[in-house]
Amino acid sequence: MTENQAVFVKEAKTQSIYRMWSINDEYPAMERVAMGGTWLALEIWSIHSKK
């Protein structure tokens, strides 16, 4: 991210409404669920496009 001049803003977490899964440990995804979810840690970055 920093190689593309992105700036780290903060760490955060989601609400407890997501489930993580993947296909063959290659294609990760998060799914919003009505029950049985958990919170996920994430990072917020500021990215400005080059014009």
pLDDT at 35: 95
pLDDT at 51: 65
The rounded radius of gyration (Å) of the Cα atoms in the chain is: 14
Q: What is the Cα–Cα distance from 37 to 29, expressed in whole angstroms? A: 14
Q: What is the Cα–Cα distance from 36 to 45, expressed in whole angstroms? A: 28
pLDDT at 28: 92
Question: Which sign, positive or negative, has the C-alpha torsion 28, 33, 38, 40?
Answer: positive
pLDDT at 48: 84
Give the residue from 17, 7, 10, 9 showing the smallest Cα distance to 40.
17
Give the residue from 35, 41, 48 showing the smallest Cα distance to 10.
41
For residue range 1-51, what is the model confidence (pLDDT) as tens digits? 888 889 999 999 999 999 999 999 999 999 999 999 999 999 999 998 766
